[in-house]
């Protein structure tokens, strides 16, 4: 989520509305604040993601079912691109 929000800020700037989609109920609910993040190092990452999300005009995160093949393909491609950027 941090990498995706960072890339969104680079591409679109913080003055825009951002929507994130994930097939992880846990991630969606932790980022939105509905669930607490128990582990200390994950709390730091959650805080960073929430800080980045808060910089945008608006931010929404939505859970999508893993069975949604299109979302799964887009997610896989995005992860591949982000991995390539790190290299």
Q: Identify the structural domains of the chain with CATH numbers, from first to last.
A: 2-86 (3.30.420.10)
Cβ atoms of 6 and 56 within 8 Å: the answer is no
Predicted TM-score of the model (pTM): 0.72
Contact 59, 18 (CB under 8 A): yes
pLDDT of residue 68: 66
Across the chain, mean pLDDT equals: 87
DSSP element (H, E) containing 5: helix 2-12
Task: Give yes or no for residue 46 having a pLDDT over 90.
Answer: yes
pLDDT tier, 76 (very low <50, low <70, confident <90, very high otherwise):
confident
Residue 82 pLDDT exceeds 90:
no
Look at residue 61 in the predicted model and tell me its pLDDT. 93
């Amino acid at each position: 989520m941090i990498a995706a929000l960072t890339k969104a800020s680079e591409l679109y700037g913080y003055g825009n509305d951002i929507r994130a989609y994930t097939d992880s109920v846990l991630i969606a609910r932790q980022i939105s604040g509905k669930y607490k993040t128990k582990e200390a190092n994950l709390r730091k990452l959650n805080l960073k993601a929430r800080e980045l999300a808060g910089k945008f005009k608006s931010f929404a995160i939505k859970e999508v079912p893993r069975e949604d093949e299109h979302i799964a393909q887009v997610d896989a491609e995005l992860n591949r691109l982000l991995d390539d950027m790190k290299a």
